[in-house]
A and B are shown apart, each in its own frame.
Chain A
Amino acid sequence: MDNQIEFKNVAFSYDNEQGKRDIIKDFNLSIKRGSFTVILGHNGSGKSTVAKLMNGLYKPTNSDGTVLVDGIDTKDEKNEIEIRRKVGLVFQNPDNQLVASIVEEDVAFGPENLGFAPEKTRERVDEALKAVDMYEFRKSTPHHLSGGQKQRVAIAGIIAMKPECLILDEPTAMLDPKGRAEVIRIIEKLNRENGITVVLITHFMEEAQSADRVVLLSAGEIIRDGTPKEIFSDIKTLKAVGLDVPQTTELLYELKENGIDINTDAISVEETAALISAALHLEEK
């Protein structure tokens, strides 16, 4: 299986008044085509920088570091448009990504920039809006939509360019629980049904449940890399790096700390309930 995105010895730093600051250093990571990867990290762990390196918005600041998208080097200016078309990036604040004041015209922005014929753009727009369940709102104005709906429109705006890979940088951080659920459902669907490679960057552990792989980032370094179950059972590390641990996992962990022999790799309420029932040898009454 081939790699959609590949980081090789990447460093990224910037200069400010306090001098040079390294955000990431000697960073290596490959994202497989068609996979669903979650990058977990706290604020300031360098996860947004990683996202922006993935579509060439940022370039490695060391000369021997490369980011390859489908084998193409992001450092090469002439590949810019091709890379952005392949790797779409969705940001945290939905308000600041929407350009036009009518939903369908906003979604059309990407295809329009690519110079597609109006009919082709129309087709792409309708398709994208249907994929995020926002077709019925195509004539609305973003200002009248909820946060979750706006974020889905932002995703549609990227999908309309038919990217192979979708990077989402904390897409749910500003949403209420309902909006969060809507957006996560759409992301999972795009990966499963449309075969889009998804990299979801977040600090909400719950959102990593259905991922193929979880990469744990802290202070610009990958400190864990594995399946969701592998990562979640290591609650000590998760807490040490300042991550949000859902109550379910926390409960299992506390029970174990209190001497109960129990697995701690569940997140969902159902799994947790099953693990507890088993550990306590509960019997149907």
Chain B
Amino acid sequence: MTAKAPDIRPVTASVGVGQAMKSVFLRDVRVAFRQRQDLLNPLLFFVMVVTLFPLGVSPEVSFLREAGAGILWVAALLSVLLSLDHLFRHDFDDGTLEQLVLQPQPLFLLVLAKTVAHWILTGLPLVVLTPVLGVMVQLPGNSIAVLCLTLLIGTPVLSLIGSIGAALTLGLRSAGVLLSLLIIPLYIPVLIFGTGTVAAASEGAPVGAYLALMGAFLVLAVTLAPFASAAALKISLSNS
């Protein structure tokens, strides 16, 4: 083996954090596209729940108009929850998580990059599918637009909050149940405001204040959740 002659004295310079985040993000996207059924799972779940509701409860237009936004929001929330366990699990099992934590970069920003990748791969496709399913549950066009907007603001919050739970339950063997128990209470405010916004829109009320509140959720989650996830990851790795 021939090695490039390295400089052995301790160095202080390191790569910019932006580049490190980009690398983490691209790797996650690449891995996801090589394992497409994991990508399709939450989407299929979303479509199935929304399709089964009219069959199981009532196909009446009046009922669907009333409940449609709620059904879509709950289905989106559950399918994000379904995909959360994968966020760190594979990395934990194959050892890439250890290497991530040992990168000479602020860990919370690397975690943020991973969470953004998770949202683009699961949350965003749900938002894209929403107009189709909205038409299926007979929502008026105005409501569909507002629903898409709330999901666009709301699903990143779900991914961010979920990353804390996923990181905390990483070392456990039966993480699924605990993850749901931990995370669902934190999802409830987002759900209430998400569906509340659509309800207000369908009554013709202004939705600006609702959307501003949801935006506040998002800002809060972006600024705080990565810190909590990074700390939780360190604890989970320390106990493994």
User: Do A and B share a complex?
Assistant: no
Q: Which residues of A contact B (CB under 8 A)?
A: none
B: residues with CB less than 8 A from A are none
